[in-house]
């Protein structure tokens, strides 16, 4: 998170995509909602008050898609923690 804070999501993603694109077998990306701010996705079970903002996570996925990468969204919501189903709204 510190590197994202200091350099910005765009620069970090550009570098990560450049590194991953050099792999001979290609690459795939998974995204876990635990990476998001706990207030954005309370059903994730992440109790820390830090994490990616909605816009940071969306930008990361946009950059991966634009580069031709594969994105797999991984949703694991604990409805006991989020009775409003906040991520779906």
Q: Give me the pLDDT at residue 13, please.
A: 96
Confidence of residue 83 (pLDDT cuts 50, 70, 90): low
The pLDDT tens digits of the residues spanning 14-66 come to 999 999 988 888 788 877 777 888 776 666 666 677 888 889 989 998 999 89
Quote the Cα angle for 19-74-62, to 5°: 50
Cβ neighbours of 21 (radius 10 Å) = 12
36 DSSP assignment: B
**Per-residue pLDDT at 7:** 97
The verdict on pTM exceeding 0.85 is no
């Amino acid at each position: 998170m510190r590197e994202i804070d200091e350099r910005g999501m765009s620069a970090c993603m550009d570098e990560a995509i450049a590194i991953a694109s050099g792999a001979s077998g290609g690459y795939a990306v998974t995204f876990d909602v635990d990476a998001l701010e706990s207030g954005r996705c309370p059903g994730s079970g992440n109790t820390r008050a830090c994490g990616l903002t909605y816009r940071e996570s969306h930008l990361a996925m946009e950059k991966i898609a634009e580069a031709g990468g594969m994105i797999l969204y991984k949703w694991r919501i604990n409805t006991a923690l989020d009775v409003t189903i906040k991520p779906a709204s």
